[in-house]
Amino acid sequence: MGLFTGKKGLVFGIANDHSIAWAITEKLHAEGAEMGFTHLPDKDPARPRMEHRVRKLVEPLGAKLITPCDVQKDEDIDRVFAMARDTFGKLDFVLHSVAYAPIEDLKGQTFNCSRAGFATSMDISVYSLLAITRRAREALAPGGSILTLTYLGGEKVIPGYNIMGVCKAALESLVTYLAHELGPSGFRVNGLSAGPIKTLSSSAVGDFDVMLKLYEAMAPLRRNVTVEEVGKTGLYLLSDLASGVTGEVLHVDSGYHIMGAPPADAKL
């Protein structure tokens, strides 16, 4: 019997098998969770690449629900939660792994971010958690948990992260306010801040290989984290093992975030 035997949840935002959300999903499945999944809507219904990519991953896990969701559309989010209610009844957890910034706004200097790019980035990367949580509050069973994914760029300046760092700062603040408001109902809301992992989203960040080397030199463990380690921590935060943890942003980065200067043996 696993930690999640009999537990049911929704996962928003798996892009491919390199996604942090996928690493968490694998751990949840191994512990007995039943899950539903959303994917980005396909621009061409005749060539459903996004759907096929996600189905290839989650169908072998016995996925009970696979559906597109545009988080900028309230009617889409409403539809997903209605389908989840019909499929699962009450949910035990929701995983939010949704972030986006227009490439021209992400690549450029933060002060050059366009008004439209800022609005889009905040809407998808931050407001989506608020919108999903509003529906999840009615869908969760007692003791339910919500988890979102963030990064150190929301706390400290990470060159190349730019407008997404501003979004993650807002996301982490939102975690605390949602935790405060959902706490009296017995629901938990947390964030997981992973070290640099090679994912689809990280490919848009400049000098990513340099960042990996910096973590190896600076972090107390003198290494980068693995996506499996991040997956295990996501499992923990969504599980009853973390029943007393809410409003937290838990770093899984080999301790890098505590460092203020390079250690004496750092080879930079």
Calculate the average pLDDT of the chain: 93
Residue in 254, 234, 255 with CA at minimum distance from that of residue 245: 234
Residue in 250, 210, 206 with CA at minimum distance from that of residue 229: 250
pLDDT of the residue at 201: 55
pLDDT in tens, 32-86: 999 999 999 888 777 888 899 999 999 999 999 999 999 999 999 999 999 999 9
Cβ proximity of 164 and 153 under 8 Å: yes
Catalytic choice (151, 215, 236, 256):
151
- Mean pLDDT over residues 108-126, rounded? 97
Comparing 144-153, 193-202, 221-230, the range with the smallest average pLDDT is 193-202
Catalytic choice (127, 161, 215, 236):
161
pLDDT in tens, 220-257: 999 999 999 999 999 999 999 999 999 999 999 999 99
Phi, psi of 192, deg, nearest 5: -115, 120
Tokens representing 5 are 């035997």
Enclosing H/E stretch for 50 = helix 49-58
DSSP 8-state secondary structure symbol assigned to residue 42: P
Tokens representing 223 are 């290494």
Q: How far apart are CA 231 and CA 252, in angstroms?
A: 10
3-state secondary structure 164-182: HHHHHHHHHHHHHHHHHHH
Select the more confidently predicted residue: 210 or 54. 54
The answer to whether residue 102 scores a pLDDT higher than 60 is yes
Phi, psi of 190, deg, nearest 5: -140, 165
Which segments within the chain are labelled E, that is strand? 8-12, 34-39, 65-68, 91-96, 140-150, 188-194, 249-252
- Mean pLDDT over residues 6-34, rounded? 96
Q: Does residue 177 carry a catalytic annotation?
A: no
Enclosing H/E stretch for 130 = helix 128-139
Q: Does residue 161 carry a catalytic annotation?
A: yes
CATH superfamily of 8-255: NAD(P)-binding Rossmann-like Domain (3.40.50.720)
pLDDT of the residue at 46: 73
pLDDT of the residue at 63: 96
Strand ranges across the sheet with 140-150: 65-68, 34-39, 8-12, 91-96, 140-150, 188-194, 249-252
pLDDT of the residue at 48: 81
Domain extents in the chain: 8-255
Q: How far apart are CA 268 and CA 265, in angstroms?
A: 9
pLDDT in tens, 156-186: 999 889 999 999 999 999 999 999 999 999 9
Tokens representing 98 are 């949704």
Helix (H, G, I), strand (E, B) or coil at 68: strand
